[in-house]
């Protein structure tokens, strides 16, 4: 699911939860918040596919998402979680913050099992990142590297 500790229960809250008897998806709208273990995902709308046994096949979060797992904070216009390869793909105005390091781009894939983050090169937009070396990184400014 959304975090390494993937058997923790998933709590979802929202202004409206729409479920269908003969469809295998459900729709959450209105300040939707998903919490699993230390992971929090928020979005105005969430569409969950394949809810058999509490394991989602796919989750589409749209309208401006925020994701945090205690280590990284990720935001973007839209995110798609896919169970088959345990990834979250975030597209549109993507910002990833790890401690004081920041990376931005248009499309990013986050691998839940390894924590790996890959900014994809398909989109024309440039990837930018701000990284600090260990020893004496200045508190607020630093070399801006262009990917």
Partner 1 sequence: MKKTDLPERRCSRRQARRHSALVRTARLVLPVFIVGIASTYVVMATPQTVDRTFANQFENLDMATEDMRLDKPRFVGEDAAGRTFELLAAAAKQSPDAPDLVALDNPEAFKDLGDQGREYIKALEGLYSAENKTVDLRNNVQIHQGIGSDDFELTTETGKIALEDRTFSSDVQVFGKSSQGTISAEGMTAYRDEDKVVFRNAHMRYNVSEETEETDSPEENDDTGNVPSDDGDSE
Taking CB under 8 A as the criterion, the residue among 68, 87, 98, 101 binding partner 1 is 87
Asked if 16 touches partner 1 (CB under 8 A), the answer is yes
For partner 1, the binding residues in 28-57 under the rule CB under 8 A are: 28, 36, 49-57
Asked if 93 touches partner 1 (CB under 8 A), the answer is no
Q: How far is CA 141 from CA 72, 103, 115, 129, 134, in A?
A: 20, 14, 26, 12, 14
Taking CB under 8 A as the criterion, the residue among 100, 118, 126, 143 binding partner 1 is 118
Asked if 114 touches partner 1 (CB under 8 A), the answer is no
Asked if 91 touches partner 1 (CB under 8 A), the answer is yes
Question: Residue 74 — φ and ψ, nearest 5°?
Answer: -125, 135
**Whole-number minimum distance, CB 79 to partner 1, in Å?**
9
Beta-bridge mates of residue 107 = 91
**Whole-number minimum distance, CB 72 to partner 1, in Å?**
17
**Strand, helix or coil at 48?**
strand
* Distance, CA of 118 to CA of 126 (rounded, Å): 13
Of 115, 70, 67, nearest to 78 by C-alpha is 67
Residue with Cβ nearer partner 1 (24 or 100): 24
Name the burial class of residue 101, with classes exposed (0-12), middle (13-18) and buried (19+) by CB atoms within 10 angstroms of its CB: middle
Q: Site residues (CB under 8 A) for partner 1?
A: 1, 6-26, 28, 36, 49-58, 60, 62, 78, 80, 82-85, 87, 89, 91, 107, 109, 118-122
């Amino acid at each position: 699911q959304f975090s390494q500790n993937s058997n923790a229960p998933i709590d979802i809250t929202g202004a409206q939860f729409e479920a269908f008897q003969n469809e295998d998806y459900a729709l959450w709208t209105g300040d939707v918040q998903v919490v699993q273990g230390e992971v929090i995902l928020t979005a105005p709308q969430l569409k969950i596919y394949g809810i058999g046994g509490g394991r989602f096949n796919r989750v589409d979060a749209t309208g401006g998402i925020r994701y945090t797992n205690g280590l990284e904070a990720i935001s973007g216009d839209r995110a798609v979680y896919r169970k088959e390869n345990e990834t979250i793909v975030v597209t549109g105005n993507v910002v990833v913050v790890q401690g004081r390091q920041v990376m931005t781009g248009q499309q990013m894939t986050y691998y839940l099992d390894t924590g790996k983050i890959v900014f994809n090169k398909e989109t024309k937009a440039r990837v930018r990142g701000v990284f600090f070396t260990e020893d004496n990184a200045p508190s607020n400014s630093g070399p801006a590297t262009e990917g």
